[in-house]
Structure 1
Amino acid sequence: MQYFVYGRDRPGAFALKVSLKEDHWSFMDGYGELMVARGPTLTGDDEDAESTGSLHIVDLPDVDAARAFAYEEPYYRAGAFESVLLCRFHNVLGRTMWDFTGAVDGYGRFLVISMGESDPMPVRSKHLIVYGELLALDGEARLGRAALVEAPDRESAATLLPASGDSHPEVHFWRFGGRPAQRS
């Protein structure tokens, strides 16, 4: 079963996360082959951008393992996150971020989250890196959708997962994460 884990940074947590980067990576090394996608969300797409959160989509045996992954993680334990979104993830494309081959020069990468949908809407784009439904931990209720996408800008990224009712999609700058030169 795949799980979507998105820790939103609390204000002022950037320096703390920088100090814990090696601890975070060492923790994640234990999950390397189980990763579907990972990486930080950022204030922008330039080299000076600061982290605003940490995304992981990981294949784990059950809810208890997912909770351990989310809440034993060094950033969480040190208080770097304001909140953690933990959901089951139905991977519609059935691939990992490393399987994506459609990179376009000049496009940025984004995490788009659209909550509150009762029925999934089909999404088709060659710019989807990973895409799926967000489900309650028991796998029953649909909570929304999430996508890692490449797009020319935030506004274009938001159009890939249209708003549902009164909700608007969250759009975050995102980049592939992990140790340099490693898959996970």
Structure 2
Amino acid sequence: MEYFVYGRDRPGAFELKVSLNDDHWSFMDGYGELLVARGPTLTGDGDEAESTGSLHIVDLPNAEAARTFAYEEPYYRAGVFESVLLCRFHNVLGRTMWDFTEAVDGYGRFLVITTDESDPAPVTSKHLIVYGDLLALDGEARLGRAALVEAPDHEAAATLLPASGGRTEVRPWRFGGRPAQRGA
């Protein structure tokens, strides 16, 4: 079962988060083969952007293992996160971020989350990296959808995952992991 774990950074926690990067990456090394996607959300585009959160989609056996993953993680334990969104994730595309090979010059990468509980028509685009439904931990209630997308800007990213009556959150995002692992 896949789980969506998104820790939103507490204001003022950037320096603490940076100081914990090695601990975070070491923790994630234990889950390396189980990660579907990972990476920070950012204040803006480019290398100078500060992190605003940390996203992981991970394949784990059950909700208890997902809670351990989310709440034993070094950023969480040190108080970096203001909140953590932990949900089951139904991976509609069935791929990982490492399967995505259709990068487009001039496009940024974004995390898009909707809180739309309806059952909208499936989304299709060659710019979807990972896309799926967010479900309650027991897998019963539909909470919304999430996608990692490529788009020319924030507004275009939001249109790839429209919400009917719900809220849409869009954050710049980049592939995560140890610097030596990026692009692998």
TM bin (shorter chain): over 0.9
Give the AA of the match of 1:8. R
Q: Deviations over 1:70-102 (max 9, x none)?
A: 000000000000000000000000000000111
Query: 1:170-181 to 2 correspondence within 5 Å?
Result: 170-181=169-180
- For the residue of structure 2 that corresponds to 1:104, the secondary structure is coil
Quick check: 1:3 aligned with 2:6? Answer: no
- For the residue of structure 1 that corresponds to 2:181, the secondary structure is coil
Give the AA of the match of 1:37. A
Unaligned ranges ≥5, structure 1: none
Give the AA of the match of 2:129. I
- For the residue of structure 2 that corresponds to 1:89, the secondary structure is strand
Give the AA of the match of 1:170. E
Alignment match, 1:111:
111
Alignment match, 2:138:
138
What is the total number of aligned residue pairs between the two structures?
A: 183
Q: Deviations over 1:105-125 (max 9, x none)?
A: 010000000013221431000
* Root-mean-square deviation over aligned CA pairs: 1.1
Alignment match, 1:150:
150
Quick check: 1:98 aligned with 2:83? Answer: no
Alignment match, 1:48:
48
- Matched-pair contact (CA < 8 Å) for 1:117–1:142: yes
- For the residue of structure 2 that corresponds to 1:105, the secondary structure is coil
- Matched-pair contact (CA < 8 Å) for 1:115–1:164: no
What is the TM-score when the length of structure 2 is the normalising length? 0.97
Give the AA of the match of 1:36. V
- Matched-pair contact (CA < 8 Å) for 2:116–2:167: no
Unaligned ranges ≥5, structure 2: none
- 4+ residue runs over 6 A deviation: none
What is the TM-score when the length of structure 1 is the normalising length? 0.97
